[in-house]
Structure 1
Amino acid sequence: MSHHCLYVLDQDSAKRFYTEKLGFEVRYDVAMGEGFEGSGQGFRWLTVGPPDQPDVQIILADVRMGHDEGTAEQLRGLIAKGALGACVFVTDDCHKTHRELAERGVVFLSEPAERPYGIEAVFRDDSGNWFSLTESRMSST
């Protein structure tokens, strides 16, 4: 997998969160232009990714991208209340990464805790999407 679509409430705010707080790099930030999807509004293709994983891109998508206004409004509500889980970020040291991210202003829903699979802390982005920050104890084989 090279791309993961993540719906956000505000692309500019999300761009700042993912670059300034999580330390990701902007891969693309391109206006696709009027009528690109036939909707007449166009859309912005905004992707970010971890510096050490150049083949990974997270699409920070406006909820309107590919959706009618009714569906976009439903997505806004689900995102804002944290009903959508996004993904897992793996770290070699959950306690250390938790401290570093918290110092940058990342809001955690749970502190690092022992789990059957390793140590996990859970945080939300500025839209409401939640993520697991995990130091895995499981073998990859």
Structure 2
Amino acid sequence: MDITIHYAFLPHTDPEAALAFYRDILGFEIRKDVGYEDMRWITVGPVGQPGTSIVLHPPAADPGITEEERRTILELIAKGTYTGITLATDDLDGLFKRLEAAGADVVQEPIDQDYGVRDCAFRDPAGNLIRINQLT
């Protein structure tokens, strides 16, 4: 039995800014873009990897969440402590330069970590922490 990761979920606070980051800077393709009232769910993924996607979703869209809970979630997203994801590339330095040149929010420049990986980190437009590892 094989098990794969099909979808990962990250909140977005501005769908157009999320598209500009994931599509235009990272080069992901749009797989779905679904709206309902004033909300949008955008599914993106790496070109050539149709089995793995990220769903960018409106935060705290659950109608059972209180306004106080919604504010707390938005504060945590903005700080980069609500959620995150780790990507990997065979050209970490090249991708770092592309993200930096596009004005992405740099958290950590490429570095060789004590625990054996080379990585860097950014925040997406919503504040989600995006770590990127160098493939070996």
Question: TM-score when scaled to structure 1?
Answer: 0.81
| In structure 1, C-alpha distance between the alignment counterparts of 2:11 and 2:52, rounded to whole Å | 17
Name the counterpart of 2:25: 21
Hey, what does 1:38 align to over in structure 2? none
Aligned residue number for residue 128 of structure 2: 129
**1:19 match: secondary structure:** helix
Calculate the aligned-residue CA RMSD, in Å.
1.8
SS at match of 1:20: helix
Listed as ranges, the matches of 1:60-99 within 5 Å are 60-67=56-63, 68=65, 69-99=67-97
Unaligned runs of 5+ in 1: 34-40
Q: CA deviation at 1:32?
A: 4.0
Moved more, 53-62 or 8-17: 8-17
Aligned residue type for 1:112: P
Given the two structures, how large is their TM-score scaled by the length of structure 2? 0.83
Work out which of the residue numbers 54, 57, 60 in structure 1 matches 2:53.
57
Amino acid at match of 1:127: A
* TM-aligned CA distance change 1:84 to 1:136, over 3 Å: farther
Q: Aligned partners of 2:107, 2:134: CA distance in 1, in Å?
A: 17
Q: Give the deviation of 1:113 after TM superposition.
A: 0.5
Give the C-alpha shift of residue 104 in structure 1. Answer: 2.2
What percent identity do the matched residue pairs reach?
31
Alignment coverage as a number of residue pairs: 129
Unmatched 5+ stretches in structure 2: none
User: Which residue of 2 is the match for residue 9 of structure 1?
Assistant: 13
Runs of 4 or more, structure 1, over 4 Å off, are none
Deviation track 1:53-110 (CA, whole Å, cap 9, x = no partner) reads 1112211111132252433222101001111341111011211221122222222111
CA distance in 2, matches of 1:70, 1:59: 25
Higher-Rg member (1/2)? 1
Kept after mapping to 1: 8 A contact 2:59/2:73: yes
